[in-house]
């Protein structure tokens, strides 16, 4: 049966994960190839006026890759069912007009052959059509069926994609975390745009973007629950925004890594963007809180795993690395089997290494 790690063992593991993440974030950089790929991708999109840019961001915060329904169809993508278009002002030019000898005001396209000749000769004065605006609709790329692989690696709003075997189990664990820190998980109060989640500090609530994948939800909910615990109304001025984001993302990455969920490409880019060129004041305390929060949350999640373990009756073979199991049918049970086996192998390896005084 799976033996839960001691807090000391967890502290050691979390310390190593955090140190490794720090090193990788410090070395993270955008290659010239990735930058060219991004610029080439963005060159395909229309540059909107300042007025429309403000309108777009007021309705769908963070949108940068947007296009009409026809634009996305031309690119081979379709707008997802139920998505609301982003309203913009579409400039239109009225038709040019002229006045003939009879005093009739006509549009140039309705001119007779003789009238067109006189227009060319300058006999008739042309009155240019005025500019007027109509309402149009566009959609952000996140509102389409485009996949993360269709986006440049350094695309600012690139999302995590995919389902994970342990989704229901981990989500249940995060509901327990929310309950412990007196936070509610709710539906967004307004359109989140490209944001993957939000923490409503004043009301002690967090929400996820309904467009998220299961993988994105797990990572983002851990991120928002960290904000909810560490960045409350009582300490709003304790840390600057980039320091808060550093703590939230590093905690989410650390916990995901502990459970074998790889968010490194997403998390390292996020951390690099928020910390590059900025000073982290009192970094020692920032990391201390990350470590403590990671351990607290991991223990709650593990309690959910262990509770599940009691009900599916997994038994180990005394020797070897295989498992004998009973009633393992659901996706979550399959994940649990793998997770427990992974932890068991670590314990066995640790016991064997003791004889050689090797640290794992």
Q: What is the bridge-based pairing of β-strands 205-208 and 184-186?
A: parallel
Residue 352 has pLDDT above 90, yes or no: no
* pLDDT tens column, 251-310: 999 999 988 899 998 999 899 989 988 889 888 999 999 999 999 999 999 998 777 655
* pLDDT tens column, 120-151: 888 898 999 989 889 999 999 999 999 988 88
* pLDDT tens column, 176-213: 999 999 999 999 999 999 999 999 999 999 999 999 99
- Edge-to-edge order in the sheet of strand 105-107: 105-107, 97-99, 126-127
Measured CA to CA, the distance from residue 222 to residue 199 in angstroms comes to: 11
Residue 123: other Cβ atoms inside 10 A: 12
341 class by beta-carbon count within 10 Å (0-12 exposed, 13-18 middle, 19+ buried) = middle
pLDDT class for 248, splitting at 50, 70, 90?
very high
* pLDDT tens column, 321-339: 444 444 444 455 666 666 6
Q: In the numeric block, which tokens belong to residue 61?
A: 């915060």
Is 0.95 surpassed by the pTM of this model? no
* pLDDT tens column, 13-65: 888 888 888 887 877 766 677 777 777 777 778 888 888 988 998 999 989 89
Q: In the numeric block, which tokens belong to residue 1?
A: 């049966």
């Amino acid at each position: 049966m799976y033996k839960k790690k001691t807090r000391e063992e967890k502290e050691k593991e979390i310390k190593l994960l955090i140190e490794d993440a720090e090193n990788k974030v410090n070395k993270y950089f955008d290659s010239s190839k990735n930058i060219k790929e991004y610029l080439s991708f963005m060159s395909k999109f229309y540059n909107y006026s300042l007025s429309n840019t403000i309108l777009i961001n007021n309705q769908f915060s963070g949108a940068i890759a947007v296009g009409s329904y026809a634009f996305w169809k031309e690119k081979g993508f379709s707008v997802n069912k139920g998505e609301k278009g982003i309203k913009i002002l579409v400039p239109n030019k009225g038709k040019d007009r002229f006045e003939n000898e009879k005093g009739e005001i006509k549009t140039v396209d309705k001119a007779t052959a003789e009238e067109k000749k006189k227009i060319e000769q300058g006999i008739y004065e042309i009155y240019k059509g005025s500019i007027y605006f109509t309402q149009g609709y566009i959609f952000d790329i996140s509102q389409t069926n485009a996949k993360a692989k269709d986006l440049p690696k350094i695309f600012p709003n690139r999302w995590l994609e995919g389902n994970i075997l342990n989704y229901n189990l981990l989500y249940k664990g995060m509901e327990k975390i929310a309950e412990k820190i007196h936070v509610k998980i709710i539906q967004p109060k307004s359109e989140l745009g490209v944001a993957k989640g939000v923490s409503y500090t004043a009301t002690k609530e967090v929400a996820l973007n309904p467009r998220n994948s299961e993988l994105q939800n797990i990572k983002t909910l851990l991120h928002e629950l960290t904000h909810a615990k560490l960045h409350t109304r009582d300490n709003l001025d304790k840390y600057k925004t980039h320091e808060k984001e550093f703590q939230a993302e590093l905690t989410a990455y650390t916990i995901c890594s502990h459970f074998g969920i790889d968010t490194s490409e997403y998390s390292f880019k996020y951390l690099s963007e928020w910390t590059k060129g900025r000073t982290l004041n009192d970094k020692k305390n920032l990391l201390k809180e990350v470590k403590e929060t990671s351990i607290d949350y991991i223990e709650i999640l593990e309690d959910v795993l262990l509770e599940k373990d009691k009900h599916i009756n997994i038994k180990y073979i005394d020797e070897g690395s295989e498992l004998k199991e009973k009633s393992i049918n659901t996706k979550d049970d399959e994940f649990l089997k793998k997770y427990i086996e992974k932890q068991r192998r670590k314990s066995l390896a640790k016991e064997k290494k003791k004889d050689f005084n090797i640290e794992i």
